[in-house]
């Protein structure tokens, strides 16, 4: 049988540049963290599922009411559908999101006695949970390193020249090869915060970017410092 090809090691200069960018972003955003509020793994899993196609701010606003009514998986699995729909209604797609929460909670009760598993392979088998959601939970609730490839992370990874991949799983593996595993969770926060505040999709604030000198995409947005400064957001998703 032919030998399995060894994985290609990333270029040393690319690794150094990538890690330099991350160090500068860490200095720029010393408070970088998950912007979804949560008290335990179950809450983080639920609010991450709810955050699809809405803002963290809106999810955080309904969180107290949601968990006051349904503090754990057993309570949520037994929830009245109409009541749960009323709580998550402000987030949009409330029928689909209610169905996701009911199925997810039921699976947790049936398979894990209501507890959230701390393994990627187990999390991604749960209804409505993909690798992105699983890595959010692992990294922030269990301190298990994971890379969260959302739209911001993928966009910045390509702009920085770390990868040309567009598939989130391929992006995750390509970028993961550039950094020590221990850095993966905070790397995710740094890129997501930078993407939400400066490196916007349509009009990045290039002239106010702390990592502009190492960015191959410099010039995709205004390079004039004053014009760029007006594009900088002090908060993430409103």
CA distances from 180 to 7, 69, 97 (A): 16, 41, 35
Distance of CA 125 to the CA centre of its chain: 19
Domain chopping of the chain, boundaries: 12-30+147-229, 41-141
Q: Rounded to whole angstroms, how far apart are CA atoms 43 and 70?
A: 10
Angle at 100 between CA 200 and CA 137, to 5 degrees: 55
Distance of CA 127 to the CA centre of its chain: 18
How would CATH label the architecture of 41-141? Orthogonal Bundle (1.10)
- Reported residue count of the chain is 238
Question: Among residues 80, 132, 183, 230, which one is catalytic?
Answer: 132
Written as tens digits, the pLDDT of the chain (238 aa) is 555 454 567 789 999 999 999 999 999 999 999 999 999 999 999 999 999 999 999 999 999 999 999 999 999 999 999 999 999 999 999 999 999 999 999 999 999 999 999 999 999 999 999 999 999 999 999 999 999 999 999 999 999 999 999 999 999 999 999 999 999 999 999 999 999 999 999 999 999 999 999 999 999 999 999 999 999 998 755 4
Is-catalytic flag, 132?
yes
Instruction: Give the class (CATH, top level) of 12-30+147-229.
Output: mainly alpha
- pTM score, whole prediction: 0.91
Is-catalytic flag, 113?
no
Question: Among residues 150, 181, 203, 233, which one is catalytic?
Answer: 150
């Amino acid at each position: 049988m032919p030998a399995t090809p060894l994985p290609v090691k990333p270029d040393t200069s690319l690794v150094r540049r990538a890690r330099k960018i991350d160090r500068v972003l860490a200095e720029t955003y010393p408070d970088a963290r998950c912007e979804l509020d949560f008290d335990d793994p179950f809450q983080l899993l639920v609010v991450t599922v709810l955050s699809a196609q809405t803002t963290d701010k809106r999810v955080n606003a309904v969180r107290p009411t949601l968990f006051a009514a349904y503090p754990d998986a057993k309570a949520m699995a037994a929830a009245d559908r109409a009541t749960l729909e009323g709580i998550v209604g402000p987030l949009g797609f409330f029928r689909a999101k209610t169905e996701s929460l009911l199925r997810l909670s039921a699976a947790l009760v049936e398979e894990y006695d209501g507890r959230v598993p701390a393994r990627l392979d187990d999390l991604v088998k749960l209804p409505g949970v993909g690798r992105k959601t699983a890595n959010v939970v692992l990294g922030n609730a269990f301190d298990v390193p994971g890379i969260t490839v959302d739209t911001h992370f993928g966009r910045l990874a390509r702009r920085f020249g770390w990868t040309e991949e567009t598939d989130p799983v391929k992006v995750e593996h390509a970028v993961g090869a550039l950094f020590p595993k221990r850095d993966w969770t905070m790397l995710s926060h740094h890129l997501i915060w930078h993407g939400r505040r400066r490196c916007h999709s349509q009009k990045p604030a290039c002239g106010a970017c702390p990592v502009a000198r190492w960015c191959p995409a410099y010039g995709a947005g205004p390079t004039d410092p004053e014009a760029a400064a007006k594009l900088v957001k002090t908060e993430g998703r409103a």
